[in-house]
Structure 1
């Protein structure tokens, strides 16, 4: 077989090429020919196909994502924003923190363990590539119905993959979510977040500058696992039997990644790199084209020098392979020997595979023959941009008219008690200890708060106590009812969760999980969610630093609920001042902050008791969210409260049960005058929290709330070994704990 070189491609314009099989559309293939002035070689076609995939190019989402830049609030904290491997924010004292969330959804359905494990590995390398030491991970997860056989296949593998990879890396898993819903059947969502810490001067960017500088590939050898990988898998819809195209899911080696991390951090410490990029989606195709595109010149690569695990791989397969634990660095010639020596010390394979040129082309050679000659920007940054048609679905009005507030309600105290137990023992509201106990939450010794706290918190300076808190949230049921409001509620909940621990929210990362962009209804959901999130970030002063879009999340014609997952990072000056969620002191007063309204649309109660989804989600008041956060932060800093817990899924009763069980203390509650006991317990009105206040601080705390205009209602006292809603029912902590903690072991244990 003749090698498909650039010259051969020029001489044979009419050769049939498998552009459709590689996921390209006819007009995209024609555009590639127009860019090159000829047909592409097989290697060029492979590069364009993975780099122009939905997962890598954002071709359907770019036009909507621009709002995050156009509406971005002014922020003194932002150091690196959208467009790099991860965003970076200033947290004070010369420290910078980088964080990002990404998806590994489809690979995790095909191969749960490796799909989830390599999702962790990939996001950790994104953080590493910014110059930071990774310090923690989180995992927002969505699965199908908890009792479905396929959930029993997928969930244990995903959890084992996350735990296995993260634990072996020595990174604490400090938070996340686990949600069950039939809409995720056949299409689970496995999102992964990583946080990294560095000094300001240590920030690194992905660019190849300096003619004559060397391109060094280091880390694991390149294999046949993951050819096309996530770049192909994440860019098509599953049918009832899985994806039509089945590229091999990447195989992870956390011990190799740990060596890669330490090696890279030592290379950074000695200032040996000009630019750096991890190899994730699209592998070498991505790393070479993005580094060259963001740099000041071109690049020449000798592809046959790439270390391989499989000597039979073709050039196209090497370029498309998404084998894990690999990085690409740009190094000045006089620093190459030292770079290679450090790699050898850490037992990391490192090979000079090319150099930066003074031209404007990415040129790749195979045994002396030129197989790629392309303008790198056309591969990496100038792919297709689609203005997909979108329209509000015809069923949206009927869904919103099916008001959850009209569902049958409990008739008295006994029925209220029964429904409380049913709610807290349902898979979504039950304790997730069966999952989180498989993760190491305290390795490295800097974890201050971890699951099930409102947000994870990490200490980053031992002397001053400086720390950061991170929370992720997203409610697909709310977003199905109203994607604009649903996205804002996801941000509001994450923002509130961070503030509840005493940290000041600074910045946002998001993972936008939606159905097929070729469906106008799913595209409308995406457009509305982006608009809602951008508007809310602007109002709360929390810029989006980066994130991920995951489309084609559907099986056949059935899409998942639109699921924007929003991560918020906040800073706390001294982690010793953090506020936990546990009620731990008898006699403290329980205060409800915020307004409770009759808002049950999309609620946990409507799902658990009635298997119902309809109506409108809770209303959003972003100014109230900001005020609530300011009160929670000030009360934490000044020692006015001992515990705080945000109110969200399951309403007040869910938060109360969690705070009581965590602290091993009961509570006596009084329903406020004029409020229906059922609404008091189960409403999911936003902008609310419960706090426990020492009696000595009550006057100071209520004066502060009153002066700032935040409703603060005394609803009870921490007391005894039961939750007693006076005049309605009492239920012991022992009975609540049994219901709360038995659900997941019964399903999966």
Structure 2
């Protein structure tokens, strides 16, 4: 029941001029959706003494064991079993049951029994149960968890990152209502214990005399001393792009159109629901042949009006092998140029999530990631976009035989903004045989080929990547296109990205 309305697919493997093997061992697939919540639910309710700590959702299994740590270290055959247990496997049926309980509570309006909610992620119960009762503390019974595998130790129960599970705070007077909803929706719920007010997190085990966990929250959630990381910049070894003699445009285009980042995404879009809820104003497929080419995903806020929200994604990781800073600016710029084709309030109203995927602990990579982050922050400040969230995965390397294989460091920027009129959205498919095609060139006529699809298909990186030399020009182009959208003067629109002008 989750509509997927935007995303990307990328694959890459190359021996770089410096001898490093850069590769995604498996293709990268990234999808994004868009939702909305009531303003009153933006801030969680504060814990109060006597409130119940409840775990809603599926049973505990040996899943996601050490996932937070495993996602930040190199993987190899010697730790295959640990890596397997660290993987978080999904259960869509349980996810639906849990979500139906949450939705039923929301639909009670002012009588909603949920005071606070926290999704279970890295650290499992050991993280989510501490954070939801901060700063008052709680006393919990570990054996009250719904357990799917009786061989789990207390440590595994406390640290497993099994999904489809949330921690809730409920007032004692709302327990019966909540239990009735869970029973109706056939969703498990575990009542672990109550908020104490003594500032400690205490976990009891009916099989042991002493509590396996008894800590002051200030010790584990307080202000920790900052940690200093040291990483030296490793300059890239550059080699100019050298194309074969006598190359024909048609031959190069044939190769480029076969790249997963450029080729048709029909093999992905045909497998997902792109319209559930009936509020999807623009999904991936456009035109009479339903071609998956849309730059932006748009949802309506209701079935009656035309207001909504728009989201788009930008990422250019291959350029980062030449210049992490240019990659960060280009990733942000691609997200913005994709969003351009939906009418939003202004560029200053655009927010984004930044997703970092980097082998940051390996030599030179921490400095490269810092360079990219600094460039992104400066660039966003200049154009008026701001980051309000994000995720990271800081392993992105594996041992293959005697060699370390690193994935290209990647920044994925997912922008979103309110959309004043979803009907003003335009798509790339041509709608008139007598229209005029215009190129809005914000690169000032520069044609740099480093890290491009053209270099990739000929097994090279090149030396000088594209970049955003004048952020103000990008911002101006965005505002001009937006004004033309509101006047309905644009029939079609598409950004220039992987594959260049010819593909666009």
TM-score (norm 2): 0.88
Q: Where does residue 6 of structure 2 map in the other structure?
A: 175
Q: Is the 8 A contact 1:208 1:297 kept in 2?
A: no
Q: Where does residue 463 of structure 2 map in the other structure?
A: 615
- Cα deviation for residue 194 of structure 1 reads 4.0
Distance verdict in 2 for CA 1:579–1:567, change over 3 Å: same
CA deviation map 1:362-417 (0-9, x unaligned): 111111642211122443465674322112104x2x32xx233xx347768xx223
Q: Is the 8 A contact 1:581 1:645 kept in 2?
A: yes
Q: Is the 8 A contact 2:52 2:193 kept in 1?
A: yes
CA deviation map 1:241-263 (0-9, x unaligned): 76573352333221211121121
1:571 corresponds to 2:414: no
1:511 corresponds to 2:360: no
Q: Is the 8 A contact 1:191 1:511 kept in 2?
A: no
CA deviation map 1:298-324 (0-9, x unaligned): 111111111211223221111011222
Distance verdict in 2 for CA 1:593–1:190, change over 3 Å: closer
Distance verdict in 2 for CA 1:601–1:254, change over 3 Å: same
Distance 2:28 2:204 in 1: 39
1:218 corresponds to 2:56: yes
**Residue 624 of structure 1 is aligned with which of 460, 473, 490?**
473
Distance 1:566 1:441 in 2: 21
Distance 2:387 2:159 in 1: 30
Q: Is the 8 A contact 2:449 2:462 kept in 1?
A: no
**Residue 389 of structure 2 is aligned with which of 546, 554, 557?**
546
1:329 corresponds to 2:172: no
Tell me how large the CA RMSD over aligned residues is: 2.1
Q: Which structure: greater helix fraction?
A: 1
Distance 1:290 1:350 in 2: 19
Structure 1 unaligned spans of 5+: 1-169, 656-749
Q: Is the 8 A contact 2:141 2:203 kept in 1?
A: yes
Distance 1:625 1:321 in 2: 45
1:302 corresponds to 2:144: no
Q: Is the 8 A contact 1:292 1:376 kept in 2?
A: no
Distance 2:203 2:405 in 1: 42
CA deviation map 1:36-73 (0-9, x unaligned): xxxxxxxxxxxxxxxxxxxxxxxxxxxxxxxxxxxxxx
Secondary structure in structure 2 of the residue aligned to 1:327? strand
Q: Where does residue 315 of structure 1 map in the other structure?
A: 154
**Residue 268 of structure 2 is aligned with which of 403, 422, 435?**
435
Distance 1:643 1:338 in 2: 52
- Cα deviation for residue 461 of structure 1 reads 2.4
Secondary structure in structure 2 of the residue aligned to 1:589? coil
471-480 or 425-434: which moved more? 425-434
CA deviation map 1:265-319 (0-9, x unaligned): 22233321221111122211111121133xx411111111112112232211110
Q: Is the 8 A contact 1:511 1:565 kept in 2?
A: yes
Q: Where does residue 501 of structure 1 map in the other structure?
A: 342
Secondary structure in structure 1 of the residue aligned to 2:100? helix
Distance 1:462 1:587 in 2: 35
Secondary structure in structure 2 of the residue aligned to 1:373? strand
Q: Where does residue 644 of structure 1 map in the other structure?
A: 493
Distance 1:208 1:317 in 2: 29
Q: 1:338-737 maps to which residues of 2 (within 5 A)?
A: 338-367=177-206, 369-380=210-221, 382=223, 385-394=226-235, 396=236, 398-399=237-238, 402-404=239-241, 407-408=242-243, 415-451=248-284, 452-503=293-344, 504-505=346-347, 506-517=350-361, 519-556=362-399, 557-594=404-441, 595-608=444-457, 610-620=458-468, 621-655=470-504
- Cα deviation for residue 178 of structure 1 reads 0.6
Q: Where does residue 19 of structure 2 map in the other structure?
A: none
Q: Is the 8 A contact 2:9 2:29 kept in 1?
A: no
Q: Is the 8 A contact 2:130 2:137 kept in 1?
A: no
- Cα deviation for residue 193 of structure 1 reads 3.7
Q: Is the 8 A contact 1:215 1:329 kept in 2?
A: yes
Q: Where does residue 234 of structure 1 map in the other structure?
A: 71
Secondary structure in structure 1 of the residue aligned to 2:364? helix
Distance verdict in 2 for CA 1:408–1:308, change over 3 Å: closer
- Cα deviation for residue 237 of structure 1 reads 0.3
- Cα deviation for residue 419 of structure 1 reads 2.1
Q: Is the 8 A contact 2:119 2:167 kept in 1?
A: yes
Distance verdict in 2 for CA 1:180–1:478, change over 3 Å: same
- Cα deviation for residue 189 of structure 1 reads 4.4
Distance verdict in 2 for CA 1:654–1:190, change over 3 Å: closer
Structure 2 unaligned spans of 5+: 14-21, 285-292
Q: 1:20-39 maps to which residues of 2 (within 5 A)?
A: none
Bigger Rg over Cα? 1
Distance 2:227 2:27 in 1: 26
- Cα deviation for residue 233 of structure 1 reads 2.1
Q: Where does residue 263 of structure 1 map in the other structure?
A: 101
CA deviation map 1:628-674 (0-9, x unaligned): 1111211111101100001111111111xxxxxxxxxxxxxxxxxxx
Distance 1:577 1:309 in 2: 50
Distance verdict in 2 for CA 1:384–1:192, change over 3 Å: farther
Distance verdict in 2 for CA 1:241–1:194, change over 3 Å: farther
Q: Is the 8 A contact 1:279 1:327 kept in 2?
A: yes
TM-score (norm 1): 0.60
Q: Is the 8 A contact 1:237 1:516 kept in 2?
A: no
Distance 2:173 2:438 in 1: 65
| Number of residue pairs aligned between Structure 1 and Structure 2 | 472
CA deviation map 1:195-227 (0-9, x unaligned): 22122123243x651111111111112222333
The higher relative CO (CA closer than 8 Å, separation ≥ 6) is in: 2
Q: Where does residue 253 of structure 1 map in the other structure?
A: 91
Distance verdict in 2 for CA 1:409–1:253, change over 3 Å: same
- Cα deviation for residue 514 of structure 1 reads 0.5
Q: Where does residue 35 of structure 1 map in the other structure?
A: none
